[in-house]
Structure 1
């Protein structure tokens, strides 16, 4: 009798576990989640003014978008590659290493669901995660400008060859150096304008 009760309990519990599984995979024909698209559009619109935005407000709204996106993920509401791509962008605008790692997982899921252009955000979020935990980035997607100097450091340029950067849609090393130098020129020009306006 005890064995029968154990078997019945296992069957009942397994039915609940099956009911909680993700919805059936719809392949590349999954419909795009309209709410996730709306969250992504709001995320991108908040950044249209570059560095001139109200960053306290933007960061607060980013937190709200991450919370709602997390709810959609938990509910199994993201099914298409585009949904996962949009969610990756929401999480990469977080402030914690786990946000960047989750963004990376979401981006690789987007690639697996057929969204090939998500390879770049997968690379960028991995770099951002590595830097956030004190490690060297490996693709070279993250730049920082401070006191008129643009840098990608710490950066392990040897780990990922240019051939793999190309697969991920990441600029090659020579192109990155050109971009870094341009960022530095722009930063120095801004600083010179600021100083001349203050004098």
Structure 2
């Protein structure tokens, strides 16, 4: 991770451990960026991803600018920024999302949606590195259809998933069909193993010009 981003995250940490009464009101621009991020994904079956990816990049750039200005003060501010980075383009973006969501939960430990984003960003860190996810928040798609990304055996149990605001593993598996239908996509009849996914990635790399 680049040095300037580490410095920004350190600044966020210092803000997070300050007295809560000093945090002030939620930043309205960060709230608006979060709403735009969510609205861009509201109609899953009719998304023009080329447009969304471009808009996502612009939102991340603006959030970084607000971070440099010290605009993030509240738990909600950190959560809003984290969600923008959760939809980032690379591993560095997702690591920032995980750090920010952890800070949001530090400021508001009873807010379950903040805990959920900790799990989702962690799972995405793992899947981005071709490792099995822990909580079961990540669904991937291919030409063969949508599937629940492989989950690491024994990494966490359903009690921990419930504490973090995540459905049980059985519920996540049952949700695949519903999610596929909302996206207008089929369900992958036989979900791939990690070994198959790694082989597919190697094959894709071998055929990329």
Q: How high is the TM-score relative to the length of structure 2? A: 0.73
Instruction: State the Cα distance separating 1:23 from its structure 2 match.
Output: 9.7
Structure 1 unaligned runs (5+)? 1-20, 190-199
Instruction: State the Cα distance separating 1:148 from its structure 2 match.
Output: 4.4
Change (3 A) 1:157 1:38: same
Between the aligned partners of 2:143 and 2:131, the Cα distance in structure 1 is 23
Between the aligned partners of 1:52 and 1:139, the Cα distance in structure 2 is 28
- 1:156 aligns with 152
Which structure is larger by alpha-carbon Rg, 1 or 2?
1
Instruction: State the Cα distance separating 1:73 from its structure 2 match.
Output: 1.4
- 1:111 aligns with 105
- Of 13, 18, 31, which residue of structure 2 is paired with 1:25? 18
Change (3 A) 1:145 1:175: same
Q: How does 1:28-107 map to 2 (within 5 A)?
A: 30-107=24-101
SS at structure 2 position matched to 1:178? helix
- Of 183, 187, 196, which residue of structure 1 is paired with 2:185? 187
Change (3 A) 1:146 1:23: closer
Structure 2 unaligned runs (5+)? 1-13, 188-209
Is residue 26–residue 73 contact of structure 2 (8 Å, CA) maintained in 1?
A: yes
Change (3 A) 1:188 1:53: closer
SS at structure 2 position matched to 1:187? coil
1:125 aligns with 2:118: no
SS at structure 2 position matched to 1:150? strand
Q: State the aligned residue count.
A: 169
Q: How high is the TM-score relative to the length of structure 1? A: 0.76
Is residue 15–residue 73 contact of structure 2 (8 Å, CA) maintained in 1?
A: no
C-alpha RMSD of matched pairs (Å): 2.3
Q: For 1:26-58, what per-residue CA distance to the aligned partner results, in whole angstroms no more than 9, with x for missing partners?
A: 516531001111111111121222131222111
